[in-house]
């Protein structure tokens, strides 16, 4: 038994080195999944901090507006811009989401009661730009409210200085009107769930499976070169060969899953829940993906065919299992069908950790299903491997 495991480990190490030597594999293992998480996370509502360019930031009005934006609820990155044309160029090139220009002498104009002060705003047509436009409209209204009140009082005969002082003393009254946003009906996701929290687990599961099945060609190449048959002529059983070949895919899956966990935590601030639970899911997903790759490697005889069909099958199962669209958006019939895919159980386990603050004890049933699938696939692959290697040509 010990010798069998040692031989399986040696076979797995060879497969792992073979995978890492191919630079194309490195791109699809480490780069492409993060890019997909970024794109899909933004589609589901997560966002990076909006960038606002400001022209004339040294005016009192600009300082008041920027102070209104710095309310602790919205993170806006403010950038000083030389002039409006330069700001427009940066909006067009997506370096800024919007630019606001305060005219020269705006503070003096307000003190003189000039009601025609124009503050120009250019915002991108995307969600970030429109969000900044809404925020600036509110900030400008609040920042200019005392001056407007003083002008109105002066127009009715009040002393301008006394009116300005009185208006400044009632600024706090603006805070007496509070706007509260509530959601009617049931939420699709728990409050606080971001787009990256939805996209991260789905893409992790999807790409571990895609990468695993795409690597099924390695087993076929070993068979074609006669390596597997020669190994079977030694005290190495077909089960050890399958375990060894699968071990390489298993380790690659764990490395890829761990990398996505850490990278998305640092880049997108995804809270994956308990470390133990997240690690257990990655291990289970890698096990199923490796076992599925062994199935493909024993039932196909053409490596390109196995790899291509493996990718297509993985994408199809991923779509059905909720890796491309949240299960919460599925119809009841489709959601029931999704339970026949391993992707569903893995994504459901991650959802329990991330959205419901679950722990390892809360995902034991999902882990059990995944490990059961992996065990059945390995048994079938071992049986099939012996058939392939012992049949008479």
Q: What is the pLDDT of residues 232-276, one digit of tens each?
A: 777 777 778 888 888 888 888 898 899 999 988 888 888 888 889
Q: How far is CA 342 from the centre of its chain?
A: 20
Please compute the mean of the pLDDT values over residues 104-128 and round it to a whole number.
Answer: 72
Residue 44, pLDDT score: 65
Residue 46 has phi, psi (to 5 degrees) of -75, 155
In 3D space, the residue among 164, 162, 137 whose CA is nearest the CA of residue 148 turns out to be 164
Half-sphere exposure of 49 (CA within 13 A, CB side): 15
Yes or no: say if 128 and 99 are a contact pair by the CB < 8 Å rule: no
Query: In whole angstroms, what is the distance from residue 124 CA to residue 130 CA?
Result: 7
Extract the tokens encoding 260.
């996505």
Phi-psi bin for 28: left (phi > 0), alpha (psi -120 to 50), beta?
Answer: alpha
Q: Give the whole-angstrom CA distance, residue 29 versus residue 40.
A: 18
Chain-centre distance of CA 32, in angstroms?
12
3-class secondary structure, 51: strand
How would residue 7 be classed by pLDDT, with cut points 50, 70 and 90?
low
**Gyration radius of the chain over CA positions:** 30
Q: Which of 31-45, 175-189, 228-242, 311-325 has the highest mean pLDDT?
A: 311-325
Instruction: Check pLDDT > 70 for residue 112.
Output: no
Nearest Cα neighbor of 208 from 40, 29, 43, 12 is 29
């Amino acid at each position: 038994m010990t010798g069998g495991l040692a031989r399986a480990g040696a076979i797995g190490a060879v497969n792992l080195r073979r995978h890492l030597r191919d630079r194309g594999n490195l791109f699809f293992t480490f780069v492409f999944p993060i890019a997909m998480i970024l794109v899909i996370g933004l589609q589901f509502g997560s966002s990076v901090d909006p960038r606002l360019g400001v022209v004339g930031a040294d005016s009192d009005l600009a300082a008041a507006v920027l102070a209104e934006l710095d309310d602790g609820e919205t993170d806006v990155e403010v950038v000083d811009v030389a002039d409006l044309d330069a700001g427009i160029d940066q909006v067009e090139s997506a370096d800024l989401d919007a630019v606001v220009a305060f005219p020269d002498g705006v503070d003096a104009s307000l003190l003189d009661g000039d009601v025609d002060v124009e503050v120009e705003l250019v915002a991108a047509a995307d969600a970030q730009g429109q969000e900044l436009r809404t925020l600036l409209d509110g900030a400008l209204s609040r920042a200019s409210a005392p001056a407007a009140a003083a002008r109105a009082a002066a127009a009715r005969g009040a002393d301008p200085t006394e009116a300005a002082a009185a208006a400044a003393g009632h600024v706090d009254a603006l805070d007496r009107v509070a706007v509260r946003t509530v959601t009617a009906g049931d939420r699709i996701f728990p409050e606080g769930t971001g787009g990256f929290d939805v996209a991260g687990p789905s893409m992790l599961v999807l790409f571990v499976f895609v990468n695993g099945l795409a690597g099924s060609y390695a087993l076929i190449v070993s068979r074609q070169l006669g390596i597997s048959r020669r190994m079977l002529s030694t005290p190495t059983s077909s089960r050890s060969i399958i375990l060894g070949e699968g071990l390489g895919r298993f380790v690659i899956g764990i490395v890829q899953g761990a990398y996505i966990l850490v990278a998305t935590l640092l880049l997108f601030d995804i809270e994956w829940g308990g470390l133990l639970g997240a690690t257990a899911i990655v291990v289970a997903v890698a096990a199923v993906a490796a076992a599925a790759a062994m199935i493909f490697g024993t039932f196909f005889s053409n490596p390109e065919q196995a790899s291509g069909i493996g990718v297509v099958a993985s994408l199809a199962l991923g779509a059905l299992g909720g890796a491309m669209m949240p299960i919460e958006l599925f119809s009841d019939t489709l959601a029931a069908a999704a339970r026949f895919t391993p992707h569903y159980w893995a994504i459901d386990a991650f959802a329990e950790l991330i959205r419901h603050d679950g722990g390892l004890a809360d995902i034991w049933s999902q882990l059990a299903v995944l490990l059961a699938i992996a065990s059945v696939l390995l048994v079938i692959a071992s049986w099939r491997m012996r058939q392939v290697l012992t049949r008479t040509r």
